[in-house]
């Protein structure tokens, strides 16, 4: 709950910029917004492809796609993507996959999606080295404490594995299952293509949605720079465990768009419109779909 509270405090301190961003929404060009909505719909297709690529068995296509749509609603109940992971884990077990293999497939999906996002971010940083000013993304003096916190978490996890035998045994068993599942998937070219193609298409389509929203509101930033800002912001907020990224994503996107040269008020309106399209409009239909899938015992 702490990150949304901090974001609310920051929003209250900059309420004039926020209010100007809300007023600017009235100038949006609707064809671009509809295109952004279309890109958002395609992200569910990309997620379904990646999920299928993470398992050898063929999953029911229509139900798999419906589950990805419903998982978006569940994602706003638990932090850091745990909601979507829980829904997909349940779906795979209902489809007959053992829990260990379903968990391994979920881990493979998360790994592929993270790698795809980082690959796209790295490619844009190489292609446009001066587009993003990293110093504006973090408060002065915050980098060292952040790195220290990450190192402490990693050392704590390593210490727990070394000290607790049962935990170490469970981790090694899961690792063997995950490696076996990854090898099996990569022996089938169609599955490997779905896994890695979907993992690249998913963040690319998300970034395209932001670019199209920026075009709709006249954000004076090149499209590639907007995509770079989106990828950098989403990689950064992955460390902040808020449900659905609420609050943290909005703040990081505004900061990133300003860092690539966008005016603060226009950047705020772009982020507001983008989150309305990608989060708030699908939320109720997604929740209804989730309830229907539960009643039909699909999950």
The whole-angstrom separation of Cα 73 and Cα 89 is 15
Residue 63 has a pLDDT of 95
Residue 241 has a pLDDT of 59
- C-alpha distances (whole Å) from 266 to each of 98, 254, 257 are 49, 9, 9
Whether 72 contacts 46, CB under 8 Å: no
Among residues 213, 159, 169, which one has the least CA distance to residue 27? 213
pTM: 0.84
Phi, psi of 180 (to 5 degrees): -65, -40
Residue 224 has a pLDDT of 93
User: Could you list the mean pLDDT of each consecutive 10-residue stretch along the chain, which spans 299 residues?
Assistant: 61 65 76 94 96 93 94 76 87 92 92 93 90 61 65 81 80 84 92 95 96 92 93 79 63 86 86 87 89 91
Residue 10 has a pLDDT of 62
């Amino acid at each position: 709950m702490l990150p949304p509270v901090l974001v609310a405090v920051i929003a209250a301190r900059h309420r004039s910029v926020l209010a100007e961003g809300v007023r600017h929404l009235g100038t949006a060009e609707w064809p671009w917004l509809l295109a952004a909505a279309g890109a958002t719909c395609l992200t569910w297709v990309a997620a379904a492809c990646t999920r299928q690529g993470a398992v050898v068995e063929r999953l029911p296509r229509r139900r798999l796609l419906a589950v990805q749509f419903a998982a978006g609603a569940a994602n706003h109940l638990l932090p850091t993507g745990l909601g979507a992971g829980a829904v997909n884990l349940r779906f795979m077990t209902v489809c007959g996959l053992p829990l260990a293999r379903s968990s391994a497939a979920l881990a493979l999906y998360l790994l592929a999606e993270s790698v795809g996002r980082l690959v796209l971010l790295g490619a844009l940083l190489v292609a446009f080295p001066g587009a993003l000013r990293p110093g504006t993304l973090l408060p002065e003096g915050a980098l060292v404490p952040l790195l220290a916190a990450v190192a402490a978490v990693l050392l704590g996890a390593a210490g727990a594995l070394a000290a607790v035998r049962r935990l170490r045994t469970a981790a090694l068993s899961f690792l063997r299952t995950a490696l076996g599942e990854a090898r099996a998937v990569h022996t089938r070219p169609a599955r490997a293509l779905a896994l890695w193609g979907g993992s690249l298409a998913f963040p690319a389509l998300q970034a395209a949605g932001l670019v199209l929203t920026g075009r709709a509101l006249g954000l004076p930033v090149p499209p590639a720079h907007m995509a770079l800002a989106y990828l950098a912001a989403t990689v950064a907020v992955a460390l902040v465990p808020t449900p659905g990224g609420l609050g943290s994503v909005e703040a990081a996107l505004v900061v990133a768009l300003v860092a690539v040269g966008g005016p603060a008020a226009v950047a705020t309106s772009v982020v507001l419109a983008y989150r309305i399209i990608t989060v708030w409009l699908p939320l109720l239909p997604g929740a209804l779909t989730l309830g229907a899938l539960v009643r039909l015992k699909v999950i």
